[in-house]
Structure 1
Amino acid sequence: MRELSPGERRKLLKDYIDAASINWAHIGLAQLVKHGCVDRILTTNFDPLIARACALVNVFPAVYDLTASTYLRPEDLPDCAVFHLHGQRNGFVLLNETSELEKHAGQLKPVFAHARESRVWIVAGYSGENDPLFRLIRDVECYDYDLFWVDVKEQPPAGIAEFFSEEHRTFYVHEPRGADRFFMDLAHQLEAWPPLFVDQPFQHLRQQLQSVAKQDQEGKGVQIDWLEQAREKIDRAEIALAAAAADIPEDDVGKVQAAFLEGGSEKAMAASSTDRLKPWLLASEAGDLALEAQVLSLTDLSAACDLWRQAGERYAQALAIKPDMHEAAYNWGNALKPGPWPPPTFPPPATSGARPASATPRPWPSSRTYTKPPITGA
């Protein structure tokens, strides 16, 4: 890097960044953000993949480029934020030279101090070697809520091995499967997995449309509601998929789709020549009601509770017809879970339970249940 001009360095990095893809560690982290488990993310990467993963699950944290400004007022920070410590792809500065990093590290102390307040720390995808930033992590007397350093290597690198100690509450976690599986498993343990776009793709699309304003357009003498057209296409696709799974005749599918769009599940069931679609139609309507309740809960909790009750009735009807319909049972359970509105509060972590010697690598402590304050990913 030292041999390249600033322009050549920037071009090389941008080409590499633009070719990068969102991975499952990003998605697991985004799910933890969505469910209120993580509220501060510190990254040395220039890429926007964390923000893109958050957008994929319909969460939009504030993003700060700390090469542009290091002036921090913790009281003014939003509930969730991503801090690019060395700059970002479209920023004015990309720090990658040792001399640049040395100069910048001292300016980041307030950010690190703020991120330690009442938070568990997880460090992942970071070697810590030959990096001035490591001193900001190392030179802390004690991490009151613990620090876990996750790596695929069985032993910590020699240059940072002395950092881990029971006294300082800093622990090395050997995760041979990598960051993807680590964050997916962690999200699962904290009931933040799977993401909606994996488990309920049609509901995910409907949720994405919730924030789009209605817009009518005059076309050939009629008003065209583009948003409603999009929703209808999603409904048709979901019914077609359910019909295929239930082996419904193709002619019947068209009638059911039209009836569902006109009058919901009751009309659709009346239009169908078979009962095999009933549980799918009821579960689909229940999902719509639960999603509407989620949005309405921000302004009218009483009305939202009524919609949740109706959704529960539809799920119960679907399961009465098809008791092995795991999708209905799972989605009903999700509808009953509290969402991140308002943001949940977290009690302090449990402090009981023996811990092994800190220098000894160990698996992620699945035997210890963590109901803890928000996590900071570095």
Structure 2
Amino acid sequence: MARRMTRHVAHSLCGCKPDQSDEDCYRTLVAKGRLNPPSEEAGTPLPTNQEIDWYHVYDQMFQRHYASRDATRELFSTLIDETGGAINWAHLCLGELVAKNLVSTVITTNFDQLALAGMVQAGVIPVVCDGVESLNRIDSSPRHPQLIELHGSRHSYVLRNRREDVEDVRTRSIAVGAIQSLMRDAKAFIVIGYEGREPGVMNLLIDAAKNFDDKKLYWVLYSNNPAHLSDNAAQFLATTRNGGLLVGQDADAFFLELCRELQLGAPTAISDPLKASQRAMEKISRSKIALDDIRREIDKANQRLAAAQAALNSNEAEDDLPSKIRELRLQGKYEEAYLLAEKALVL
């Protein structure tokens, strides 16, 4: 995103050509005073391509060129629209864990609403807290799944990395109270796919964790190198006597192994693609319909769904050993998968 914003601003304000590299665009912006140089000392050379701190560029872009809410909403909406609604395995698995009551609360700083999409795919419509201002909706011991979008969603995203924003989040009573109560009642707190760069969010988590030093806290790090753990994340983990750091964990791979350990297999959206339609039709069919035309349309939809399910069952009835073996492996049933493969080799 930092590279994308750099190209856009450089083309718009400095006349950079579309074929110029991200690094050249960055250096042009610094030279033109559109970005702060890495050092204010006179004569300090600009960083090489490998030395450019794109995280710092990201922060500066929002401070200087995408400072309004309208600008950030337009940027993020464009990015999400370009993906065509793509959703990854990790978010589908996350939704499955929520649907099976293995996860009660999901906190995200992302604006893409993929966590929400994963839950909906699993048949869950959670309580949604769309920003710090609505944290009063959150229950520390929820009876219903809940999603906290700390920075808002694509429709209401608010970047909180300026000094005043950080202090506002850390001292706002509603935010402090919500995170403290969630930490108090959580059986485990697991961080996945997050670097812990936002000081406002991390200060809240660190302050809350200090009050409950027996909590199970786990940080799942993408990098294979523990030294890449951010200072904020290290402070967070240092507050507990339990938990630890997992390194070299891609989010999809992590959730794949987690669901194997829990013997859940593939997410329902993948393993039973008609399940969502069946849930919807069951609810629709339970409604009271007075008009004949509406009832006939519902009956027709149910017939189509039944035909699709029959066709799917017919295909699954065929002897597809690789699929059966893979399904057992995804469920963590390795011994059964091995015996089935061994039997097939003998045959």
Match of 2:277 in 1: 205
Match of 1:276 in 2: none
Per the TM alignment, residue 227 of structure 1 is displaced from its structure 2 partner at its CA by 2.0
CA RMSD in angstroms, aligned pairs only: 3.4
- The whole-number CA distance in structure 2 between the counterparts of 1:238 and 1:88 is 36
In the alignment, is residue 10 of structure 1 matched against residue 73 of structure 2? yes
In the alignment, is residue 173 of structure 1 matched against residue 246 of structure 2? yes
Per the TM alignment, residue 172 of structure 1 is displaced from its structure 2 partner at its CA by 0.8
Q: Is the 8 A contact 1:62 1:78 kept in 2?
A: no
Kindly tell me: are residues 166 and 62 of structure 1, through their superposed partners in 2, closer, same or farther at Cα, counting changes over 3 Å?
Answer: closer
Match of 1:29 in 2: 94
Match of 2:219 in 1: 149
In the alignment, is residue 114 of structure 1 matched against residue 181 of structure 2? yes
Question: What SS does the aligned partner of 1:148 have?
Answer: strand
Q: Is the 8 A contact 2:132 2:150 kept in 1?
A: yes
Kindly tell me: are residues 224 and 184 of structure 1, through their superposed partners in 2, closer, same or farther at Cα, counting changes over 3 Å?
Answer: same
In the alignment, is residue 230 of structure 1 matched against residue 294 of structure 2? no
- The whole-number CA distance in structure 2 between the counterparts of 1:85 and 1:52 is 17
- The whole-number CA distance in structure 1 between the counterparts of 2:190 and 2:140 is 23
Per the TM alignment, residue 14 of structure 1 is displaced from its structure 2 partner at its CA by 2.3
- The whole-number CA distance in structure 1 between the counterparts of 2:316 and 2:130 is 48
Per the TM alignment, residue 127 of structure 1 is displaced from its structure 2 partner at its CA by 0.8
- The whole-number CA distance in structure 1 between the counterparts of 2:186 and 2:260 is 23
Q: What is the aligned length? A: 250
Larger helix share, 1 or 2: 2
Match of 2:43 in 1: none
Match of 1:41 in 2: 106
- The whole-number CA distance in structure 1 between the counterparts of 2:155 and 2:130 is 10
Percent identity between the aligned chains? 23
- The whole-number CA distance in structure 2 between the counterparts of 1:125 and 1:202 is 30
Query: What CA deviation, in whole Å up to 9, does each residue of 1:150-193 have, x standing for no partner?
Result: 011121425244554495324111134x1112123223322433
Structure 1 letter corresponding to 2:63: R
Q: Is the 8 A contact 1:46 1:89 kept in 2?
A: yes
- The whole-number CA distance in structure 2 between the counterparts of 1:67 and 1:124 is 21
Kindly tell me: are residues 72 and 113 of structure 1, through their superposed partners in 2, closer, same or farther at Cα, counting changes over 3 Å?
Answer: farther
Q: Is the 8 A contact 1:143 1:170 kept in 2?
A: no
Match of 1:103 in 2: 168
Structure 1 length as normaliser, TM-score? Answer: 0.57
Match of 2:192 in 1: 124
Kindly tell me: are residues 242 and 77 of structure 1, through their superposed partners in 2, closer, same or farther at Cα, counting changes over 3 Å?
Answer: closer
- The whole-number CA distance in structure 2 between the counterparts of 1:61 and 1:73 is 11
Structure 2 letter corresponding to 1:129: R
Question: What SS does the aligned partner of 1:201 have?
Answer: coil
Match of 1:183 in 2: 255
Per the TM alignment, residue 18 of structure 1 is displaced from its structure 2 partner at its CA by 3.5
Per the TM alignment, residue 42 of structure 1 is displaced from its structure 2 partner at its CA by 1.0
Per the TM alignment, residue 24 of structure 1 is displaced from its structure 2 partner at its CA by 1.2
- The whole-number CA distance in structure 1 between the counterparts of 2:242 and 2:99 is 27
Per the TM alignment, residue 75 of structure 1 is displaced from its structure 2 partner at its CA by 7.2
Query: What CA deviation, in whole Å up to 9, does each residue of 1:18-52 have, x standing for no partner?
Result: 44422111111111101111001111112222111
Structure 1 letter corresponding to 2:214: D
Match of 1:263 in 2: none
Per the TM alignment, residue 246 of structure 1 is displaced from its structure 2 partner at its CA by 6.8
Query: What CA deviation, in whole Å up to 9, does each residue of 1:210-269 have, x standing for no partner?
Result: 1114547546xxx8522221121122233344556779xxxxxxxxxxxxxxxxxxxxxx
Q: Is the 8 A contact 1:65 1:85 kept in 2?
A: yes
Q: Is the 8 A contact 1:31 1:187 kept in 2?
A: no
Q: Is the 8 A contact 2:90 2:252 kept in 1?
A: yes
In the alignment, is residue 66 of structure 1 matched against residue 66 of structure 2? no
Question: What SS does the aligned partner of 2:265 have?
Answer: coil
Kindly tell me: are residues 191 and 245 of structure 1, through their superposed partners in 2, closer, same or farther at Cα, counting changes over 3 Å?
Answer: closer
Q: Is the 8 A contact 1:163 1:170 kept in 2?
A: no
Question: What SS does the aligned partner of 1:88 have?
Answer: coil
Structure 2 length as normaliser, TM-score? Answer: 0.62
Gapped runs of 5+ residues in structure 2? 1-61, 332-347
- The whole-number CA distance in structure 1 between the counterparts of 2:138 and 2:91 is 27
Question: What SS does the aligned partner of 2:260 have?
Answer: helix
Match of 1:239 in 2: 310
